[in-house]
Amino acid sequence: MKIEPGMAALVTGAGSGIGRGIALALARRGVDVGVCDIRQADAEATVALVEAAGGRAVAVQADVSVRGSVEEATDMVEANFGPISILCNNAGIAMHGVPLHEISQADWDWVIGVNVYGVIHGMNVVVPRMLASGKPAHVVNTASIGGFQVNPNFLTGAYSMTKYAVVALSEGMQNELAGTNVGVSVLAPAAVDTGIHLSERSRPDRLGGAYVRPENHFMGDLIKNSAKPEDIGERVAAAIEGDEFYIFTHPETQHWLEARHERIRAGFDAARTRLAESMAEAAE
């Protein structure tokens, strides 16, 4: 899809990090951006950056884990800029450093609510409007390289579980929307210099409110001085125009996926061996 000046976009989690980078990249192309974030002040800071560069944006406070909040955000963006042509379901939180069996129910509800339901709500609210418009449109769902493999060196299983879901949702969307006016991409970055390790500052009151979760904070050192959100935003904008489905940003991580696929192949090899053994025993 060609990105045209005057299009409208809704970018969730755009108050910082990758979401901010995407918002700025789209604004540079003349897109009017709905900057959606659970933290109003952060959304307003991104809007200020967009406007300082000559673009147009509006700050929208929303909790993507609540469908009604996404509906209100969508209505607000459309009231300001017209029908949404680009939807970036980007909001996400970290849930690192704790074994899966020790994660609290509230934290499970939180990470699934934002990372999975946030994408579902954006899809269910915005995509029907895109289809009804009949105009070229595109959806980008932010997963992670962790949505294709679980790194054995870090306790990131809960996060990866949600990002695997985003990959599957995106693959399903692409299958179902083939031949329509709506394209789909899934973004799978690795280390990006963001504040995702500080996600706990945005936990909603209904799940216990903001707090300090030191188990996440080792990620801050790992991602410091890594890829810049602005560069990821440019990569996303180019991928929309190139109609790329898988948007990878760190080619050096390919061997992680290849290692996982080798384990899968080994599982099929074992299945064939067991089946041959069973058939041989039955023939005796």
Query: Where are the extended beta strands (E) located within the chain?
Result: 8-12, 32-37, 57-61, 84-89, 137-142, 182-188, 246-248
**How many Å apart are CA 118 and CA 264, to the nearest integer?**
30
Specify which residues 260 forms β-bridges with.
none
CB 205 within 8 A of CB 227: no
Answer yes or no: 164 catalytic: no
**How many Å apart are CA 150 and CA 15, to the nearest integer?**
27
**How many Å apart are CA 219 and CA 224, to the nearest integer?**
8
Which residue among the candidates 117, 159, 164, 246 is catalytic per the annotation?
A: 159
Return the amino acid letter for 209. Answer: G
Separation in Å, CA 253 to CA 22, 159, 216: 22, 18, 21
Per-residue exposure over 184-209, b if at least 16 CB sit within 10 Å of its own CB, e if not: bbbbbbbbbbbbbbbbbebbbeebee
Residue written as tokens 């959606």?
A: 36
Give me 154's structure tokens: 């870090």
Task: Please classify residue 243 by burial: count the beta carbons closer than 10 Å to its beta carbon, then call 0-12 exposed, 13-18 middle and 19+ buried.
Answer: exposed
- List residues with catalytic annotation: 159
